[in-house]
Chain A
């Protein structure tokens, strides 16, 4: 993951021992800034998640307390949303992996002889990043609306029931998540596959392995670090996303994810402790899943 950019790197080992006063001067403003606006917020989120309403107070008035009950209530009320978020995120991650692997393989391995073409294709992969996230999701909403030629075409071919919808369904949300996070999967896979030593594949076929056997016994294991980074980079933001599942975008009445619930509790109903508890749960579940996943895929040195 991106952490390796900080943790490894040999330059630190050789970093000269120079006046640490200058180092302090260089570090202090930025580190203080991050403490004040990243760490303190996380702490205040934890504090908020235990708050209790002020007795006889207005909506949105809470006081410091130690109300564990908030977490129990949140799981009881929003357990379904929490499960749904992770379900959607897992599906989107799988689809993005299936979509991206052949693409990344083509760019990273097959197109190696043409570096310019390779770079051009990478630009195409990240091109969606440069158009507003919200507008590209809304574009899909229009393209796949009931009146659109795609959906009416599918209906004319009897591939879809005449009264069925696509937008507003769980399928649409998973589709949107998949589309929006495909580059997150393709880029790390590409970075990894580009380093793949193709002589190993030739060795496989020299040893009378079928192409598919070579793929699953050589290529996939070798690209495991790329797969793990891609899965994490797709899964984490997908689980916390609330644009795709929003009713004005690709979602419907029964598709709200944990992000939607956090947003509505925080900004609409001013139920801050619930929103804070949900955020803490989201972060905790992600941390646990990521740790287990990284351990099981045998790439502990990734983090």
Chain B
């Protein structure tokens, strides 16, 4: 997921629950829209299917012409050592930036909902702007800063950059969760002589955890697929998207398709699991109510 993609996803995640109304009954050709939607979904999925199918291609160097089916690339991903190194770097960057951004963003989200302080609107603007700025501008700006300060670009500068753009997304996602939290639960903790520390770690934190996990997953997805900002701040360090960009001219090895497909299915499984678990929860709540 690229940075911009996170914007729409986090918006969709944080949108209020829809009102349940009965469906429309318009007479506009009953089958036109469903058929259109089906075609639209096929269109959206074509490049994904292509990438997945070509991960089984028995290609030699470039992976453009179909040369026969093989499981070989899935079993020996690291035969193309460059792909694996790039993938490893992306994992290190993604995990480090996710941890840093999740901590910083969660703290801000709690402060925004729970406390009053001056300069609130200025702080809100500072949190919003990174999400509305084109990625080229974010990347070039940070690179100009590193250049002026004489900082050597590498793994460290990429992590700094990724943490920067993930913080705002963490704030939006966790804030949605904090504002639904019932303060009475914390009060109960205090009434039962819990120290502020105990109340936070035993009551508040576990309740916030689903929001924090969602924010961390979003951060990781953003970091993992970021290319534009990385490209400006990576120096000679390779990441998975950067590897693809550089090898695009001479052909991408099928191993890259293997990694991308594996990541895709892992992400889809996580999303579907979250959907199903929330659907189950809703049903259980509906039964209780």
Contact = CB atoms under 8 A, between A and B. Distances in A.
Interface of A: 1-3, 5-7, 9, 11-12, 15-20, 22-24, 26-27, 29-31, 33-35, 37-42, 44-45, 47-48, 99, 102-103, 105-107, 109-113, 115-116, 119-140, 142-143, 145, 179, 181-184, 187-188, 190-191, 194-195, 197-199, 201-202, 205, 211, 229, 233, 236-237, 239-240, 242-243, 246, 248-249, 258-259, 262-263, 266-267, 272, 275-276, 279, 282-283, 286
A139 B47 contact: yes
B interface, by DSSP: helix, strand, loop or mixed?
Answer: helix
Interface in B1-47: 1-2, 4-5, 7-12, 14-15, 18-28, 33-34, 36-37, 40-41, 43-47
Interface stretch (B69-77, B121-129, B207-215): B121-129
Contact of B24 (A27, A110, A267): A110
Contacts of B138: 38, 41
Contact of A124 (B36, B44, B244): B44
Interface residues of B, number: 113
Contact of A40 (B145, B252, B264, B271): B145
Given A2-B11, A243-B227, A45 B47 contact: no
B146 to A, nearest CB: 9
B252 A279 contact: no
Given A2-B11, A112-B21, A134-B241, A7 B124 contact: yes
A283 B172 contact: no
A interface, by DSSP: helix, strand, loop or mixed?
Answer: helix
B47 A2 contact: no
A40 B143 CA distance: 11
Contacts of B284: none
A45 B132 CA distance: 17
A31 B125 CA distance: 11
Contacts of A143: 46-47, 50
A24 B117 contact: yes
A2 B48 contact: no
